[in-house]
């Protein structure tokens, strides 16, 4: 019983930190992939920028933006699940 109530209260700061941390992790992959020569979305983004491939750049930016919006939505939903006082109208 105590664990259930303490866990809900203790998870709020963790959930609050998770949203921006995931955003930083997602945007930081561009640098890490370029430094370590890993294949991935960041490497494609850099190559598209160097080749001036505008449709690919727009697609990657849109994908990252949509992913960040979904992550923030999940954080907001987690707030409502963890704290019943939070209500969205």
Q: Tokens representing 64?
A: 């990252």
Angle, helices 41-51 vs 2-35, to 10°: value is 40
Q: Where are the domains of the chain?
A: 17-82
Give the global pTM.
0.72
The model's pLDDT over 43-52, given as tens digits with 9 standing for 90+, comes to 888 889 999 9
Contacts of 26 (CB under 8 A, 6+ apart): 64, 67, 68
Please report the pLDDT score of residue 1 as a whole number. Answer: 65
Q: Distance between CA atoms of 21 and 75, rounded to whole angstroms? A: 11
């Amino acid at each position: 019983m105590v664990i259930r109530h303490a866990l809900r209260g203790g998870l709020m700061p963790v959930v609050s930190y998770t949203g921006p941390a995931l955003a930083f992790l997602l945007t930081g992959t561009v640098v890490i992939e370029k430094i370590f020569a890993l294949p991935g979305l960041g490497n494609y983004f850099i190559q598209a920028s160097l080749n001036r491939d505008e449709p690919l750049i727009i697609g990657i930016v849109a994908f990252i933006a949509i992913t960040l919006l979904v992550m923030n939505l999940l954080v907001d939903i987690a707030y409502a699940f963890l704290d019943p006082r939070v209500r969205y109208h």
